[in-house]
Structure 1
Amino acid sequence: MISRIPRLLFENVLVPVADVLTKSVNNFAGHKSDHSYNSNATRAAIISEEEIEFYLNFKSAVLFLCLALCIAGFSVLMYFLYVLVFVPYNRVRRLGSIGYQNHEEGHLSKKDIANLVRRRRKVGDDLPPVFPNGWFRLVDSQQLEPGQVKQVTALGEHFAVFRSKSGKASILDAYCPHMGGNLAVGGIVKNDCLECPFHGWRFDGDGKCVAIPYSEKIPTFAKTKSWPCREVNKAIFVWFHCDGKEPEWEIPDISEISTAKFTYKGRVEHHANTHIQDVPENGSDLAHLSHLHVPNAMSGANLSTQYSSWWNFAEHIFRAQCIGSTDEEPHISLFYLTHYLHVFKRFKLLSLNLNVYQIGPGIVHLHFNSPFGKGVFVQTLTPVEPLHLVLTHNLHASWSIPVWLGRIFLYLEAIQVDRDVMIWNNKTFEPRPKLLKEDSLIAKYRRWYSQFYTENSPRLSLKSEDGNGW
């Protein structure tokens, strides 16, 4: 039996469309025939059975085409709804795709504009070290399957990040100590080891060579550097210390993520051209929250136009309270943040309360409570190069915040970060800023952040910034 809706669709849409198209063909054929025959009766009399069969086949073909178009349109709609409802959000903005303006005559590509700004911008005097000591994210857990290896460049190093067949993640130097082959480019994961594609030397997760295919004896010097690695909160982190010291503190585990009370809703990723200290310093810069981030997110991220948008009948209002760190955990700084949408300067909507934990130089946990439920943004910051940073926000939330709502949360967060990126990409670092008493928290924060630098922490070499761009 044909259900009621498909039958109505067939009778009221597909059949009339096919009839119209068929009549058009018949009229065209009749118009041509009138030049040769004097009457419709004569023309009808000589229509052959082949012509009748042709018209019937044509009508069937039109019906089939209409049906196929309807099915295709329905399938596209279902796919769109599936992505919206079930697929986690993934928004990536590479270096140069946002945050720059063309001040030159004529048209320039985004890449050319970004390179011009990077070369001409005043970097700043007396910059702090560019690679602080701490834990830094290299890849998200879902980006590394069992038996897979990835090359990651960060912190002035080249890493081979691999996951064994048993599921354990490890981080080795990317270059084989034998002849310099890249373990991550063509390397093969075999059980719990990574095999070099050049000569087949095989290394375990601790960097020890366990097999050489053409030698019975493995010398003691056959080993490569293994980096301290932690997989926590659905991401893989490496410990970096300029003096080679072992980890001095651990990354807090978010129990709601490890117990699956919170589920993954998506991520946004930004690449920025600035000093690493500029990004977390935003949290202590309360004045910028009351200016840069007040315009409605729907007004966009163009700093030249966002303040004049008609969307600003609803404004974002932020309030922050700094708590600071404790003697037991000096590497963690806490502050409270509240947000609401101020509509027509009368109504307060979408209230959001956040406990924000800055953990070391490159990790922030933003636990929030909203009218829709609870969740956490896991923010990570990793320097790829001295002034090239990768900033990620991964959202994990309760069941009451479905994927489609998580997409909205992440999009609104992404627009606000877009605005920061436009500032970061074009600013200079001020080692001795002219601060007001209302800015005292910035000075306090800089003193706290300085604990992640030591005497040998790498500093920027201006020579490296005078290259040909990227």
Structure 2
Amino acid sequence: MSGALELSKMLLNTVAQPAYDVYNGMVTIVSARGNQTTSGANDTSKLVTLELTTEDIQFYMTLKLIWAFAICFVGLGTAFTVLYYMYVLFFVPYERVKRLGSIGYLNHEAGQPSKKEIANLIRKRRKIGEDLPPVYPNGWFRLVDSLQLKKGEVKEVSAIGQHFAVFRTQTGKAHILDAYCPHMGGNLGVGGQVKGECLECPFHGWVFSGKGECVKIPYSEKVPSFAKTKSWPSREVNGAVFVWYHCDGVEPEWELPVVEDIANGNCNYLGRVEHHVNTHIQDLPENGSDQAHLSHLHVPNALSGNDLSTQFSSSWNFAQHIFKAYSKGSDEDTPHISKFDLTHYLLIFNRWRFLQMFFKVYQIGPGCVHLHFTSLLWKGVFVQTVTPLEPLHQVITHNLYGGWTVPLWLGRIFLFLEAVQVDRDVMIWNNKTFRPRPKLVKEDNLIAKYRRWFAQFYTENSPRLQMKTEDDASW
């Protein structure tokens, strides 16, 4: 967007303004000649006729022509800028990414430290919490969105305490291998080349299939049986590539459900919001069971912003968000799925309801949530994923898919509203501590129930937090 604005400024500064300056200069010259013609005349009331040479007239007309062209160029630049913004609004999916430290921290220090410095200070000083649950639960976790991985492309992704090489073959199949070549440790995800259905190591040219088998060593007549690397169970579903993680190396115990409206194209991709959060992974999905926070933290209007210290006093709060959640538990045959019903509406001047929407929410394992929404006019689904990049560093994404009644510009509004509400959660998560035995009142009983449900994704060998030295505590 800024490119179009810069083009308009460039046209103004390089064409229009210089032409205008020269035009003014010509007028000054003509005036000076007039003064010279009339100088020395005793009768000041005498009308003086200034005759310009042919060259003066030609130069003057040329300047007028340049000035006209300059105005035309500036007009075209402005029109281009408007058209570009319209194109983005109606044809480009929304994308918003917030990295660690960009939101969620308040400056309590003297001077003007950067956001990164503030985040590091709070991260070092914050009480981590005692008896933390394991930091990497077992389940499916998103590594990349499908749109982020083109045919013939490979990406290195670090998550869940592992390093992955995620690549898409020339026929479009996505695979996940251990990032480090078993030969001499070259990183397959950094400089690796997709060769047909295989991935070539950038170090010595060893070639691996999607199953992790080495199929070619360019300088060896024979490929030994031990020449293989780890291939991770993967699924590409609902617009993302997922990896199966289990601390004991167990094969997938359940599958991610397919959202049929996404698979059959009834819902189109409208954009995504991504947040990086400094907290334990269990804090994020636990939000769904914490109904009391919905009636407090998320009530202020989204236009009042994400600053917890000012959002309640905003003049925008003549309209408030009202959420109500109802837990439905899990079915016996799908214990890894927890279901909720959620309703939302805007309450205007405490009298009128507007923007009423109904959500069917499915928490699928520790790292995925499907939020199917309907209203009188709209239908769609938010696909939310949570992936632990480090023990206390989570990335949470919200990808929006909508039916034909949800155009891109409306999807931008939905994603903006969602983003502001998640910003508020991030501000809580980044600064809170984990309470393994919180003091709950009877109205909080759903939190305790949810924690018992989530515990199924931990096993005896699930990794615990290993405290780092202070030197390693910054981003």
Per-residue CA distance 1:328-386 (angstroms, 9 max, x = gap)? 00000001000110100000111010000000000000000023310000000000000
- How far does residue 49 in structure 1 lie from its aligned partner after superposition? 1.6
CA distance in 2, matches of 1:21, 1:385: 59
Listed as ranges, the matches of 1:208-227 within 5 Å are 208-227=213-232
Cα separation, partners in 2 of 1:35 and 1:318, compared to 1, 3 Å: same
Partner-residue secondary structure (3-state), 2:437: coil
Equivalent in the alignment of 2:460: 455
Pick from 64, 76, 79 the counterpart of residue 59 of structure 1.
64
Equivalent in the alignment of 1:285: 290
Pick from 43, 50, 66 the counterpart of residue 44 of structure 1.
50
Per-residue CA distance 1:257-316 (angstroms, 9 max, x = gap)? 000000000000000000000000000000000000000010000000000001111111
Equivalent in the alignment of 1:89: 94
- How far does residue 24 in structure 1 lie from its aligned partner after superposition? 4.8
CA distance in 1, matches of 2:27, 2:177: 76
Equivalent in the alignment of 2:344: 339
Equivalent in the alignment of 1:35: 35
CA distance in 2, matches of 1:155, 1:297: 33
Partner-residue secondary structure (3-state), 1:36: helix
Using structure 2 for the length normalisation, give the TM-score.
0.93
- How far does residue 27 in structure 1 lie from its aligned partner after superposition? 3.8
Equivalent in the alignment of 1:14: none
- With 364-373 and 87-96 compared, the bigger mean Cα shift is at 364-373
CA distance in 1, matches of 2:249, 2:158: 18
Question: Is the 1:350–1:371 contact (alpha carbons within 8 Å) kept by the matching residues of 2?
Answer: no
Listed as ranges, the matches of 1:29-428 within 5 Å are 29-38=29-38, 44-45=50-51, 47-428=52-433
CA distance in 2, matches of 1:304, 1:371: 35
> Is 1:430 the equivalent of 2:430?
no
Cα separation, partners in 2 of 1:263 and 1:32, compared to 1, 3 Å: same
Cα separation, partners in 2 of 1:23 and 1:176, compared to 1, 3 Å: closer
Cα separation, partners in 2 of 1:281 and 1:466, compared to 1, 3 Å: farther
- How far does residue 30 in structure 1 lie from its aligned partner after superposition? 2.6
- How far does residue 31 in structure 1 lie from its aligned partner after superposition? 1.9
Partner-residue secondary structure (3-state), 2:67: helix
Question: Is the 2:337–2:364 contact (alpha carbons within 8 Å) kept by the matching residues of 1?
Answer: yes
- How far does residue 22 in structure 1 lie from its aligned partner after superposition? 9.0
CA distance in 2, matches of 1:26, 1:114: 59
Kindly provide the amino acid, as one letter, of the partner of residue 49 in structure 1.
T
CA distance in 2, matches of 1:468, 1:27: 67
Aligned residues: 453
- How far does residue 29 in structure 1 lie from its aligned partner after superposition? 2.3
CA distance in 2, matches of 1:249, 1:264: 26
Cα separation, partners in 2 of 1:398 and 1:464, compared to 1, 3 Å: farther
Question: Is the 1:22–1:55 contact (alpha carbons within 8 Å) kept by the matching residues of 2?
Answer: no
CA distance in 1, matches of 2:298, 2:438: 21
Kindly provide the amino acid, as one letter, of the partner of residue 148 in structure 2.
Q
Kindly provide the amino acid, as one letter, of the partner of residue 391 in structure 1.
I
Equivalent in the alignment of 1:5: none
CA distance in 2, matches of 1:351, 1:208: 53
CA distance in 2, matches of 1:103, 1:284: 31
- How far does residue 44 in structure 1 lie from its aligned partner after superposition? 3.4
TM superposition outliers: structure 1 runs of 4+ over 4 Å: 19-26, 39-43
Question: Is the 2:23–2:64 contact (alpha carbons within 8 Å) kept by the matching residues of 1?
Answer: no
Partner-residue secondary structure (3-state), 2:358: strand
- With 104-113 and 416-425 compared, the bigger mean Cα shift is at 104-113
CA distance in 2, matches of 1:220, 1:41: 107
Question: Is the 2:278–2:429 contact (alpha carbons within 8 Å) kept by the matching residues of 1?
Answer: yes
Equivalent in the alignment of 1:8: none
Cα separation, partners in 2 of 1:52 and 1:342, compared to 1, 3 Å: same
Equivalent in the alignment of 1:9: none
Using structure 1 for the length normalisation, give the TM-score.
0.94
Partner-residue secondary structure (3-state), 1:354: strand
CA distance in 1, matches of 2:49, 2:173: 82
Kindly provide the amino acid, as one letter, of the partner of residue 206 in structure 2.
W
Unaligned runs of 5+ in 2: 1-16, 40-45
Question: Is the 2:23–2:60 contact (alpha carbons within 8 Å) kept by the matching residues of 1?
Answer: no
Cα separation, partners in 2 of 1:265 and 1:83, compared to 1, 3 Å: same
Cα separation, partners in 2 of 1:446 and 1:464, compared to 1, 3 Å: farther
* CA RMSD of superposed structures (Å): 1.8
Cα separation, partners in 2 of 1:301 and 1:117, compared to 1, 3 Å: same
Kindly provide the amino acid, as one letter, of the partner of residue 304 in structure 2.
S
Question: Is the 1:22–1:59 contact (alpha carbons within 8 Å) kept by the matching residues of 2?
Answer: no
Question: Is the 2:37–2:50 contact (alpha carbons within 8 Å) kept by the matching residues of 1?
Answer: no
Partner-residue secondary structure (3-state), 2:36: coil
CA distance in 1, matches of 2:23, 2:260: 69
Kindly provide the amino acid, as one letter, of the partner of residue 279 in structure 1.
L
- Percent identical: 63
CA distance in 1, matches of 2:246, 2:61: 79
CA distance in 1, matches of 2:258, 2:336: 15
Per-residue CA distance 1:172-203 (angstroms, 9 max, x = gap)? 01000000000011100010000000000000
Cα separation, partners in 2 of 1:384 and 1:21, compared to 1, 3 Å: closer
Partner-residue secondary structure (3-state), 1:288: helix
CA distance in 1, matches of 2:386, 2:370: 12
CA distance in 2, matches of 1:459, 1:247: 22
